[in-house]
Amino acid sequence: MIIKDKKSSKYRVAILLATRGREGSLFRSLMSLINRCSDLSTVEFLLAFDNDDDIGLKQWEEVVQPMFEEKEINYKMVKFNRLGYKRLNDYYNTLAKFADSDWHIFWNDDALMESQGWDKDIYSHTGQFKLLAFHTHRLHPYSIFPIMPREWFDLMGHLSRHSLSDAWISQLAYMLNILERIPVYVTHDRHDLTGNNEDQTYKDREILEGNPNNPLDFHHPRYVKQRILDVKTIAEWLKEQGNDTSFPENVLAGKQDPWLKLQENDINGQMKVWRATIPD
């Protein structure tokens, strides 16, 4: 999908990162991006911390900020009254307001960049409206650390309406038929995947998925309807840009299986159980 009316941005890539209670893993995550970036002058880092996060703020003041200053890295830091994991998307939606880049990346403080020159692979797609996806754990069919053009936020005023942002954004992309995986590899160093980082931040996560009767659940009808609204908004704009939107139009009309491409990408069958719960 081509963006005809592309806005100019100051930077090429924005790293959006909400963090809490992390020391070593946060620093390792940031350094993996910095050391493997081809041109740091084109990247901006936007970090979110809770006001009551003594561990994280100390790490910021004593380690991260001085390192950013020394390396002349573009950055912004935003403090929040604690929202918690159930409102994780609100941290990122707020950070996106401060970004001035062609691409926004949802990043985690337990993610490690493995590919050299990762930024080149992203900005080579500039001018295209796609959801780009890294290669991550177990070849998951979602874009676990979503990479979106800035127009995604400019168009809707948010990146995701739910804390399960990778699922939200990826499902929209599959319904729009705009997901593309790029040859960039990331390790998600999460405890249940690698055995690392079993700290309080990990233990305090509240995953709102699996109980559609809960109004806060990812699969509650209210959120399903909101995802459809987001798809309509993006599809209409893409059509105005002169793109072929027959796939999402057929999805919305009930003539196209919205999860066709997801199923094709689900090489290890990680989404089979979820997909079986979706009514025809």
Distance CA 151, CA 128 (A): 10
Query: Which pLDDT does position 57 carry in this prediction?
Result: 94
Q: What is the mean pLDDT of residues 201-224?
A: 80
Asked if pLDDT for residue 182 goes beyond 60, the answer is yes
CA pair distance 161, 120, nearest whole angstrom: 29
Arithmetic mean of pLDDT, 57-67: 94
d(CA 181, CA 169): 14
Residue 254 covered by a domain = no
Give a yes or no: residue 272 inside a domain. no
- 235-245 pLDDT per residue, tens: 999 999 999 99
Which candidate, 179, 182, 83, 82, places its Cα nearest to that of 129?
179
Residue 109 domain flag? yes
Give yes or no for residue 280 having a pLDDT over 50: no
Residues 98, 116: Cα–Cα separation, whole Å: 27
- Distances from the Cα of 116 to the Cαs of 94, 121, 194, 230, in angstroms? 29, 10, 22, 34
* pLDDT tens per residue across span 112-131: 999 999 999 999 999 999 99
In the chain, the percentage of residues whose pLDDT exceeds 70 is: 90
Name the average pLDDT for the chain: 90
Please tell me the predicted confidence (pLDDT) of residue 238. Answer: 97
pLDDT at 268 (0 to 100): 75
Helix (H) or strand (E) holding 161: none
Q: Identify the pLDDT of residue 140.
A: 87
Helix (H) or strand (E) holding 233: helix 221-240
**Residues 126-165: pLDDT tens digits?**
999 999 999 987 788 999 999 999 999 999 999 999 999 9
3 phi/psi in degrees, rounded to 5: -95, 110
Dihedral through CA 132, CA 135, CA 138, CA 142, nearest 10?
0
- On whether residue 156 sits in a domain, the answer given is yes
Residue 191 pLDDT: 56
The answer to the question of residue 246 being in a domain is: no
Tell me if 79 is assigned to some domain: yes
The total of structural domains in the chain comes to 1
Report yes or no: 275 and 35 within 8 Å, Cβ to Cβ: no
Q: According to the model, what pLDDT value does residue 220 have?
A: 92
Question: Residue 34 falls within a domain, yes or no?
Answer: yes
**Per-residue confidence (pLDDT) for residue 26, from 0 to 100:** 93
Task: State what percent of residues in the chain have pLDDT above 90.
Answer: 70
**Residue 124 belongs to domain with CATH number:** 3.90.550.10
Q: Which residues contact 158 (CB under 8 A, 6 or more apart)?
A: 89, 93, 96
Asked whether 133 and 183 are in contact (CB, 8 A), the reply is no
Q: Which domain holds residue 59?
A: 11-203
Q: In this structure, are residues 1 and 129 in contact, taking their beta carbons and an 8 Å threshold?
A: yes
Residue 265: pLDDT band with limits 50, 70, 90: confident
**pLDDT number for residue 195:** 64
Q: How many Å apart are CA 1 and CA 206, to the nearest integer? A: 35
* Residue 30 clears pLDDT 70, i.e. is over it: yes
* 252 located within any domain: no
